């Protein structure tokens, strides 16, 4: 027991050292970590081996996965997995995690978790899946949308899953004005929606 406490204390001190280093070089890290809008699609990695393995695990939970028959159930399983198992963590600096890193650490901020969810949905075969980001002042809302069965499905890790009639209806609901920045992206495209 004393050995465990000593090791926990050592790890706690080590984490404080890492935090001090990160804090000291925060501006430099954030400068190098900036990503342009044209690079955002590179964050969606459905073909990464770790992401593909998770996709196969989701598919195998359904007998003989067929996109037409099973995508909705697999998408719900992907949503539940990210919502229930990936810990929400806010880092002291802006740092992009790739989906495979989010899977490895099982933690990330809202943006990282939604990028992972989108990667899983694309891996499951839905290429309309997109990460949607809406920035209003200091507040940022991030969620995933995808089209299926003639509807637009919204997966919000904080509030759940809902359907809207169309992309236009979603944009109207978001109440986008001149003070709002909004965009969506997946592994193939980036679109400014504000």
Token pair listed for 153: 């499905």
Distances (CA, A) of 81 to 89, 113, 128, 163, 175: 16, 10, 20, 20, 30
The Cα–Cα gap between 193 and 132 comes to 9
Does residue 100 register a pLDDT over 90? yes
- Residue 129 CB partners (closer than 8 Å, separation 6+): 118, 121, 122, 144, 145, 146, 186
User: Average pLDDT in the 163-187 region?
Assistant: 88
Specify the pTM: 0.84
The pLDDT value recorded for residue 176 is 79
Does residue 103 register a pLDDT over 60? yes
User: Average pLDDT in the 32-48 region?
Assistant: 83
């Amino acid at each position: 027991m004393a050995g465990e406490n000593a090791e926990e204390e050592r790890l706690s001190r080590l984490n404080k050292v890492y935090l001090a280093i990160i804090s000291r070089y925060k501006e430099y890290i954030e400068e190098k970590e900036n990503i342009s809008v044209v690079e955002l699609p590179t964050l969606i990695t459905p073909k990464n081996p770790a992401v593909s393995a998770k996709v196969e695990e989701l598919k195998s939970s359904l007998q003989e996965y067929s996109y037409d028959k099973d995508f909705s159930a697999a998408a719900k399983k992907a949503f539940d997995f990210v919502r229930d198992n990936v810990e929400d963590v806010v880092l002291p600096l802006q740092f992009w995690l790739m989906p495979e890193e989010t899977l490895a650490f099982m933690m990330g901020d809202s943006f990282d978790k939604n990028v992972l969810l989108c990667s899983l949905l694309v891996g499951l075969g839905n290429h309309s899946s997109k990460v949607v980001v809406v920035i209003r002042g200091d507040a940022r809302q991030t969620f995933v949308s995808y089209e299926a069965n003639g509807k637009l499905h919204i997966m919000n890790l904080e509030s759940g899953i809902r359907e809207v009639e169309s992309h236009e209806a979603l944009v109207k609901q978001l109440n986008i004005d001149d003070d709002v920045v909004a965009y969506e992206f997946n592994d193939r495209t980036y679109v400014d929606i504000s």
